[in-house]
């Protein structure tokens, strides 16, 4: 049977969820009578927790705004979310996240966590890398399962093989074994990088396969899996060794650059590198400077990228607002022409 202190903390958690709670509702949730609920409320007030009493037919208790933050109780996934937010803010240089306040907030949460939970969260934060934390997701990304995330972090820290149940982008399901090297946050999505241990090839060799994990198993090659496509992760017996200079974030970005897509796009753009990068970051396109010619005067760049679809490129090129030439594919020329016609027709409407 829960001790009174435990019930008082449960009462605080119920009040922290928001709104006004009736005495009857609180008594039912705590398994006590109304008189005991009132006594527990007095305990919270003695601890300087701002509990307000609301009179009337729909009255009860609610948390008021106090001169200091009342005690917080976080579940494991809530603590994980707060610590990851602080870590991401610190990497991105957000105001406050990297300050003393951010550091002490993180330390306070770690200090009060149960030992096994603190260890798992520490493993995750130690294994986490960011490609560019200041760059937001292009679209809302699916959230990975917290248990999968923590299991993979433990596998990274202790160099243990892990079994994954994975669904690729075409909907094909498979069970894979991975030597996990690191977890990477990239533009709102989460990935785990590592090697397929199936052959004698050295871990960390071969081509990356970003976000799909679709290549044949047993190749010993580098692999990257999207965490939101992993439905289950289980540690396996044994251990492995990874190269000390392995960089999970670099593996992910290299994999994106080398991945095969339906279209190869080559453009020539009269612009500065900074102007192009504002719309086509390094994770999307490769930019090289072309030798200037006497009759052109301004700098031209060659922009190369791979894409599964082309329909997103005409608006990007319009936003770039710089002279450009489409070398290939011809389908992109048709899409740009159609996009320009639509803009022109909209502009002529009265």
pLDDT tens by residue, 325-344: 999 999 999 999 999 999 98
In a domain, 19, yes or no: yes
The yes-or-no verdict on residue 293 having pLDDT over 90 is no
Mean pLDDT to the nearest integer, 314-331: 93
Q: From the centroid of its chain, how far is CA 170?
A: 22
Q: Specify the higher pLDDT residue, 154 or 219.
A: 154
Judge if 201 and 296 occupy the same domain: no
Closest to 132 in 3D by CA, of 78, 175, 189: 189
In contact, 62 and 79? CB cutoff 8 Å? no
Does 101 lie in the same domain as 154?
no
136 vs 341, more confident? 341
Q: How many helices (H) and strands (E) does the chain have?
A: 11, 12
On whether both 269 and 340 belong to a single domain, the answer is yes
pTM over 0.75: no
The tens digit of pLDDT for each residue in 207-227 reads 334 444 443 344 457 888 999
HSE of 295 in the Cβ direction (CA atoms, 13 Å)?
0
For residue 292, what is the domain's CATH number? 3.30.70
- The answer to whether residue 68 is domain-embedded is no
Nearest-Å Rg of the Cα atoms of the chain is 27
Q: Specify the DSSP element, H or E, that contains 263.
A: strand 263-270
Residue 219 lies in a domain: yes
Q: Which residue range forms the structural domain that includes residue 106? A: 76-129
Picking from 228, 253, 278, the residue at the C-terminal end of a domain is: 253
| Rounded distance between C-alpha atoms, residue 69 and residue 106, angstroms | 16
pLDDT reading at 99 higher than 80? no
- Write out the H or E segment, with its range, that includes residue 277: helix 273-277
Is residue 288 within 8 A of residue 222, CB to CB? The reply is no
Per-residue pLDDT at 218:
41
Residues 190, 100 share a domain: no
For the beta carbon of residue 30, count every other beta carbon within 10 angstroms.
Answer: 18
- The predicted pLDDT at position 208 comes to 36
Q: Is 136 domain-assigned?
A: no
Q: Give the pLDDT confidence score for residue 257 in this predicted structure.
A: 63
Q: Mark whether 59 and 103 lie in a shared domain.
A: no
- 94 pLDDT higher than 60: no
Q: Are 163 and 176 in contact (CB under 8 A)?
A: yes
Is 183 in the same domain as 229?
yes
- Express each pLDDT in 34-70 by its tens digit: 999 999 999 888 887 888 888 877 778 988 876 455 6
Shared domain for 232 and 165, answered yes or no, is yes
Percent of the chain with pLDDT over 70: 79
Predicted confidence band of residue 253 (pLDDT cuts 50, 70, 90): confident
Residues 282, 339: one domain? yes
274 and 313 both lie in a single domain: yes
pLDDT value at position 199?
44
**pLDDT category of residue 11 using cuts at 50, 70 and 90:** confident
In a domain, 140, yes or no: no
| pLDDT value at 90 more than 90 | no
Say yes or no: 241 and 270 in one domain. no
Q: Total domain count for the chain? A: 4
- Average pLDDT for 144-162: 88
Averaged pLDDT score across all residues of the chain: 79
Within a domain: residue 34? Answer: yes
Assess if residue 69 is contained within a domain: no
Whether 92 has a pLDDT exceeding 50, the answer reads yes
- Higher pLDDT: 163 or 188? It is 163
- Judgement on whether residues 39 and 80 belong to the same structural domain of the protein: no
Q: In which order are the strands placed within the sheet that holds 285-289?
A: 285-289, 300-307, 263-270, 324-328
Q: Are 300 and 290 in contact (CB under 8 A)?
A: yes
CATH of residue 17's domain is: 1.10.10.10
Domain end marker among 253, 276, 297: 253
What pLDDT shows up at residue 171? 85
Give the per-residue pLDDT at 258: 64
Both 28 and 105 in one domain: the answer is no
pLDDT mean over 309-336: 93
What is the rounded CA–CA span in Å between residue 120 and residue 332?
48
Domain assignment present for 187: yes
Residue 204, pLDDT score: 34
């Amino acid at each position: 049977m829960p001790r009174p202190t435990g019930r008082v903390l449960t009462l605080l958690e119920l009040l922290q969820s928001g709104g006004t709670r009736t005495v009857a509702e609180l008594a039912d949730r705590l398994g006590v009578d109304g008189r005991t609920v009132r006594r527990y409320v007095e305990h919270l007030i003695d601890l300087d927790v701002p509990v307000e009493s609301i009179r009337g037919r729909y009255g009860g208790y609610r948390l008021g705004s106090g001169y200091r933050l009342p005690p917080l109780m976080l579940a494991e996934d809530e603590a994980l979310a707060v610590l990851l937010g602080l870590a991401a803010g610190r990497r991105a240089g957000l105001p406050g996240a990297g300050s003393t306040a951010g550091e002490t907030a993180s330390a306070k949460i770690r200090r009060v966590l149960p030992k096994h939970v603190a260890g798992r969260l520490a493993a995750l934060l130690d294994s986490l890398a960011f490609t560019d934390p200041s760059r937001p997701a292009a679209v809302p990304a699916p959230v990975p399962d917290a248990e999968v995330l923590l299991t993979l972090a433990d596998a990274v820290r202790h160099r243990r093989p892990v079994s994954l149940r994975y669904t690729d982008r075409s909907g094909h399901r498979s069970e894979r074994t991975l030597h996990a090297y690191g977890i990477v946050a990239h533009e709102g999505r989460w990935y785990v990088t590592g090697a397929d241990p199936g052959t004698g090839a050295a871990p960390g060799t071969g081509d990356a396969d970003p976000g799909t994990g679709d290549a044949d198993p047993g190749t010993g090659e580098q692999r990257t899996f999207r965490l939101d496509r992993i439905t289950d992760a289980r540690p396996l017996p044994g251990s492995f060794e990874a190269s000390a200079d392995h960089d999970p974030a670099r593996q992910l970005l290299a994999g994106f650059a080398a991945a095969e897509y339906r279209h190869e796009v080559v453009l020539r753009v009269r612009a500065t590198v900074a102007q192009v990068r504002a719309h086509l970051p390094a994770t999307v396109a490769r930019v090289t400077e072309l030798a200037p010619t006497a009759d052109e005067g301004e700098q031209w760049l060659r922009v190369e990228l791979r894409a599964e679809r082309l329909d997103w490129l005409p608006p990007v090129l319009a936003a770039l607002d710089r002279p450009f030439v489409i070398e290939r594919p011809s389908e992109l020329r048709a899409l740009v022409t159609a996009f320009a016609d639509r803009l022109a027709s909209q502009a002529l409407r009265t």
